[in-house]
Amino acid sequence: MITTTIGSLKKNSSSPRVILGTVMTGLSGLCMILTLIPLIAVLFFVFVQGFSRLDTDLFTQLPPPPGLDEGGLANAIIGTLVVVGIAVVIAVPVGVLAAVYLSEFSHGNKFATSIRFATNVLSGVPSIIAGIFAFGLLVSSGIVGFSAIAGGVALAVLMLPTIIRTTDEALKIVPQEIRWAALGVGAYNYQTVLKIVLPAALPGIVTGITLAIARAAGETAPLIFTALFSNFWPNISPQGLAEPIATLSVLVYNFAILPFKPQQELAWAGSLILVLLVLGTSILARLATRRKVY
Amino acid sequence: MTQSDYSNTDKIMMGERSPLEKTFDQGFRWLTLGFAISIGLILISIAVIIAVGAFPAIKQFNFSFFTNSNWNPVTDEYGVIAVIYGTIVSSLISLIIAIPLGVGAAVFLSEDFIPEQIRTVLVFLVELLAAIPSVVYGLWGIFVLIPITTVFGTWLNQNFGWFPLFSSPPAGPGMLPAGIVLSIMILPIIIAISRDSLASLPPDLRQASLGLGATRWETIFRVLIPAAISGIMGGVMLALGRAMGETMAATMIIGNSNRLSISILDPANTIASLIANQFAEASGLQISALMYAGLVLMLLTLIVNILAEYIVNQVKAKYE
């Protein structure tokens, strides 16, 4: 073997090693392309099918009864806003303050390690399990019944790990000197955290929350037996929050499996709105993380 | 500022901290600690609430739950062997498709085949793949993927029908299209974690290998992938956990049939899709049985995820 290559430092393009390399490079590129095909196919169909149904009725009308044409999904859009809003009200304070403890006050003790571990485990919990949890906690125990609140609690459980993890990461990036400087001029711990550290980490935290919201808005499994569905306008009042409510994601699921064309078109339009939401927040998140305070 | 302003500030600076503020400061600390504890409590109460809900079914069926393949709400007879089989097989199909594609794409993204900027865009697109809601994949699966897999499945059945896995004519929804959609959904996890573990390898490894005269792909196969293999395995485990727990895409595409069938062209069911499909209309013992199934699913994903976490952490500790 050695004797054949002595004297020639040129790359022999017909040697099996070189050919193997070229073939493998091509194959790995092919893997990359095959990975992106589904993304393009999904986006293509959602955009083509969804846009054909995109009009003002979509945002102002109720869904039509089975068999009838036209209508919109205004109640589901409002419902998604309500349910996700409830989830945000619960998950953001809990998530951000828990992350503040992990990053600012725990000094990396054993307890913090186990809470970080619990966060990771929680993020691996299937979304349908969060639904059963909210059902068992609020619905079957008779506290509120099938309702926007039960749906919001289920979504909050799913949002928590994302918020904690991104806030934790964002706080870690804030330089230690800033904390020392704040404490050095006599600030309390709470002043350091609330007025100095959290504002510095804000872009990262907001990004995390936005991504969590986008993910929660698309979640279906935890809502189908907590928030259920409704064909009518949501009742926007404290009592209304304890009633079943329509959401975009559940509407897509319910209408996709109906044999009626108008309902299927609405399902595509609902998907388009969800996909645009995800696309928009992902791009915004990219831009936000590019700007750094320190 | 006037003289009096300065003296005023002086007084404040020299003054003792008020007890109220001290208490508030302490209180803030305890508040954050309380929220941190609540994360652990949520995790525990998820397990407890589901276990309590499942208790009547556990008492009634005990271990026969795992040997019975019937799921019959009419006779109140429940067993999960068929859905456990469906969960495992659909996850395996998705892994068989996603592992080679994912690792291949991860290698492509961690090497310098194409300019950095284009790679950043590709990484973003892969992240987007993970962000699309599963119900949208389900809708796409029903109207776009199932017609394609039905044609492909008919061909498989006609030419390879002697093979048990392809022994039935495709009914439309089934294990195969569900496995394919699951593979799309877990690809981003495998790519992201494989790419991270390849990128975090010390550069000395690559330099040493190239210095000994190995080509790029010899380096990748014999040095880089073996060194990153535990990270890649961790990513695959996480992906497996995701595939087992994935609900909407599965329930819309798999056909929701509780009959145990060896052919992957037949409709089937997974634990998650069974729960999604029946929970809203269930009552009495059926709810309890569904919660029992949920408990099984939670334990399965918990074991897989903790293993994955452990493996990924081992790798981090090795190179940090």
ipTM of the complex: 0.91
Which structure tokens are listed for A106?
Answer: 């725990």
C-alpha to C-alpha distance for B136 and B248, rounded to whole angstroms: 9
For chain A, list the domains and their CATH numbers. 76-290 (1.10.3720.10)
Distance from CA of B16 to the nearest CA of A (A): 12
Distance from CA of B315 to the nearest CA of A (A): 16
DSSP-derived letter for residue A196 is: I
- Residue B242: its chain A contacts at CB < 8 A? 124
Confidence of residue B3 (pLDDT cuts 50, 70, 90): very low
Pairing state of beta strands B77-78 and B71-72?
antiparallel
Contact call for residues A127 and A226 (beta carbons, < 8 A): no
Distance from CA of B246 to the nearest CA of A (A): 7
- CA B1, B3, B6, B11 torsion-angle sign: negative
Which structure tokens are listed for A207?
Answer: 């990004």
What mean pLDDT comes out for the span B90-119?
A: 94
B49:A124 CB<8 A? no
A42:B140 CB<8 A? yes
Interface check A26 vs B, CB under 8 A = no
Contact call for residues B266 and B82 (beta carbons, < 8 A): no
C-alpha to C-alpha distance for A277 and A256, rounded to whole angstroms: 20
Q: Report the b/e string of A184-197 with b at 16+ CB within 10 A.
A: eeebbbbbbbeebb
B217:A132 CB<8 A? no
- What are the angstrom distances between the C-alpha of A294 and each of A188, A290, B108? 22, 12, 33
Residue B39 pLDDT greater than 90, yes or no: yes
- CA A216, A218, A223, A229 torsion-angle sign: positive
Q: What is the pLDDT of residue B1?
A: 41
Interface check A126 vs B, CB under 8 A = yes
Contact call for residues B222 and B209 (beta carbons, < 8 A): yes
C-alpha to C-alpha distance for B149 and B180, rounded to whole angstroms: 9
CA dihedral defined by A101, A104, A107, A111, rounded to 10 degrees? Answer: 10
Contact call for residues B280 and A225 (beta carbons, < 8 A): yes
Q: What is the pLDDT of residue B317?
A: 67
- Residue B225: its chain A contacts at CB < 8 A? none
A98:B298 CB<8 A? no
| DSSP assignment string, B142-205 | IIIIHHHHHHHHHHHHHHHTTSGGG-S---SSSHHHHHHHHHHHHHHHHHHHHHHHHHTS-HHH
Residue B312 pLDDT greater than 90, yes or no: no
Q: Which of residues 59-98 of A touch B (CB under 8 A)?
A: 93-95, 97-98
Q: Which amino acid is at A285?
A: A
Residue A150 pLDDT greater than 60, yes or no: yes
3-state secondary structure of A58: helix
Distance from CA of B37 to the nearest CA of A (A): 7
Percent of chain A with pLDDT strictly greater than 70: 95
A21:B215 CB<8 A? yes
What mean pLDDT comes out for the span A213-237?
A: 89
C-alpha to C-alpha distance for B268 and B254, rounded to whole angstroms: 6
Q: Which of residues 147-176 of A touch B (CB under 8 A)?
A: 157, 160, 164
Interhelix angle A198-218/B116-131, nearest 10 degrees: 50
Confidence of residue B319 (pLDDT cuts 50, 70, 90): low
DSSP-derived letter for residue A221 is: T
Residue B2 pLDDT greater than 70, yes or no: no
Confidence of residue A37 (pLDDT cuts 50, 70, 90): very high
Q: Which amino acid is at A109?
A: N
Query: Which pLDDT tens digit goes with each residue over B165-218?
Result: 898 888 889 999 999 999 999 999 999 999 998 998 899 999 999 999 898 999
C-alpha to C-alpha distance for A75 and A247, rounded to whole angstroms: 8
Distance from CA of A23 to the nearest CA of B (A): 10
- Tell which phi-psi region holds residue B68, choosing left (phi > 0), alpha (psi between -120 and 50) or beta: beta
Which one, of A66, A225, A46, lies nearest residue B276 by Cα? Answer: A225
Residue B212, C-beta contacts closer than 8 angstroms, at least 6 positions apart: none
Which structure tokens are listed for A148?
Answer: 């926007």
Q: What is the pLDDT of residue A291?
A: 60
Query: Which pLDDT tens digit goes with each residue over A263-288?
Result: 899 999 999 999 999 888 888 888 87
Interface check A113 vs B, CB under 8 A = no
A115:B37 CB<8 A? yes
Distance from CA of A186 to the nearest CA of B (A): 9
Contacts 24+ apart (CB under 8 A), B67-76: B69/B258, B69/B260, B70/B258, B71/B258, B71/B274, B73/B278, B73/B282, B73/B286, B76/B284, B76/B285, B76/B286
Other CB atoms within 10 Å distance of the CB of residue A247: 33
Give the residue from chain B lying closest to A194, CA to CA.
B28
Q: What is the pLDDT of residue B282?
A: 87
User: Nearest Cβ partner of A190 from B25, B124, B245?
Assistant: B25
Q: What is the pLDDT of residue A1?
A: 47
Residue A5 pLDDT greater than 70, yes or no: no
Q: What is the pLDDT of residue B8?
A: 52
- Tell which phi-psi region holds residue A9, choosing left (phi > 0), alpha (psi between -120 and 50) or beta: alpha
Interhelix angle B81-110/A16-51, nearest 10 degrees: 120
More confident residue, A177 or A239: A177
Interface check A253 vs B, CB under 8 A = yes
Residue A91 pLDDT greater than 90, yes or no: yes
C-alpha to C-alpha distance for A25 and B119, rounded to whole angstroms: 15
Residue B59 pLDDT greater than 60, yes or no: yes
Q: What is the pLDDT of residue B15?
A: 61
User: Nearest Cβ partner of A140 from B31, B53, B132?
Assistant: B53
Which one, of B275, B297, B57, lies nearest residue A124 by Cα? Answer: B297
Q: What is the pLDDT of residue B75?
A: 87
Which one, of A188, A1, A213, A208, lies nearest residue A89 by Cα? Answer: A213
Query: Which pLDDT tens digit goes with each residue over B288-307?
Result: 999 999 999 999 999 999 88
Residue B122, C-beta contacts closer than 8 angstroms, at least 6 positions apart: A32, A36, B109
Best of A4, A20, A28 to substitute, by most chain B Cβ atoms within 10 angstroms, is: A28
What mean pLDDT comes out for the span A155-179?
A: 94
What mean pLDDT comes out for the span B261-272?
A: 92
Confidence of residue B45 (pLDDT cuts 50, 70, 90): very high
